[in-house]
Structure 1
Amino acid sequence: MDIIILKLNILKKYNEDTNTVDLYFNISEGKITKINKIIINGNNSILTDDIKEIIQSKTKSIRNIFANNNYKPLNVERDKYTIVNYYKNNGFLDVNVETKIEYLKSNKVNIYFDITEGEIYSIYHL
């Protein structure tokens, strides 16, 4: 689901002869909200570029000119769990990821992923 600002006007016409009301909806869709920046904090052990590679949310850049940078809240939630699973698969069993969305002018957002890595666990002998 993309975030879109809508304008809705409702026109009501009452018909006395038939004792009915006709409703007319005029919907003006606004622009789709775009991702301006993705900011990742607290990742001391895993590179920012590696994290950005595994998440669905993207920003447009010279390297990634065809990226779909539409803001989708569901993708951000999925990205959070993707990051958690990536860390857990790399031994960080106590990892915690929090997200924050900063709404900007011009239908843009900044997405923050704040990571608390915790301790790394390793198994040496089975």
Structure 2
Amino acid sequence: MNKFEILGYFWIFTSISLCIGLYKLELSKRVIDEEYEYIKKHRAFGNLTKYLTIIAIVSILLLNLNFLVYKDYEFMSRFGGAWAFFLLFIMCTGFFQKRDSLYYKRGIIAIASILFGAVGSAYAFKDIFFK
């Protein structure tokens, strides 16, 4: 097995783990803790995060299936990076609270840090995304 193939399987394992985490946080009916349930009820975008999570899980499964079938590493690097930005967008919608929420300021700080990380990642991967 060469290094690219090992990296590809590592990517698949990591992305499936992230999907399981997204499912547990956003789609599972089981209560994680009271604070998080309060945050879910006071989101500024309502159920948008849940629908975006479903789209993200389906898209990463299709992306992994495409990689397993065709072993296309360039495809994985392009669309895997785009999926990572989509995941950051889902986190932004999940953290952003209504103004009357108890955790509004915490959500603003979380969004700022996530967007700052997304901008840094976009600059780091500019050669891959903007050929």
Assess same fold via TM > 0.5.
no
Higher helix share: 2
Which one has a bigger Cα radius of gyration?
Answer: 1
| TM-score (normalised: structure 1) | 0.31
| TM-score (normalised: structure 2) | 0.30
Higher strand share: 1
